Amino acid sequence: MNDEHSEKMKIHVYPDPVLRARAEPVLDIDGDTQTLIDGMIRTMYAAPGIGLASNQVGNLTRVIVFDRHPGEDDRSPFVLINPEIVDGEGKIVREEACLSVVDFSAEVSRMAQVSVKGFDREGKPVSIDAEGLLAICLQHEIDHLNGTLYIDHISSLKRALYKKKLKKRQKES
């Protein structure tokens, strides 16, 4: 990653419509894709976060970046291009937050284990079997590419409370 040339990118926040758009498959992993990836990794760690989807930085291609060892001290950034969940099982409920859903977190139920396939930044096929926090992170970021936010997985009451809080904050600013 060439840090000098990749600026921190703007993270779009709810209710920005780009977050509800479905990202398109990457057909050619070119220089623009590499620049996007570098900027997304830099932005994810600066935020700080453990994952970031291209929609969140206003790019509607199917690219996610994440840390392979979320919550640990050493950084291990990884990229998946055109990721898809091919299998999953079990159930895990954990508090989630999102760089695009500010000042809010909620418990979300997800699959405890997932198998995800996609391509790395060189275009090589990749398969990842993940559990726990990494499984949650992958599901969360792939949801973004489909225009789904984690708040879509919570009760309508909790979602309404968040929207009310958001409206109040917008009036104050």
Catalytic residue numbers, as ranges: 141
Amino acid symbol at 146: N
Q: Are 23 and 61 in contact (CB under 8 A)?
A: yes
Alpha-carbon gap, residue 132 to 138, rounded angstroms: 10
Phi-psi label, residue 123: left if phi above 0, alpha if psi -120 to 50, beta otherwise: left
Alpha-carbon gap, residue 78 to 138, rounded angstroms: 11
Looking at residue 172, the DSSP 8-state letter turns out to be H
Instruction: Name the residue among 83, 34, 85 with its Cα closest to residue 63.
Output: 83
With 0-12 / 13-18 / 19 or more C-beta atoms within 10 angstroms meaning exposed / middle / buried, residue 86 is exposed
Alpha-carbon gap, residue 159 to 125, rounded angstroms: 37
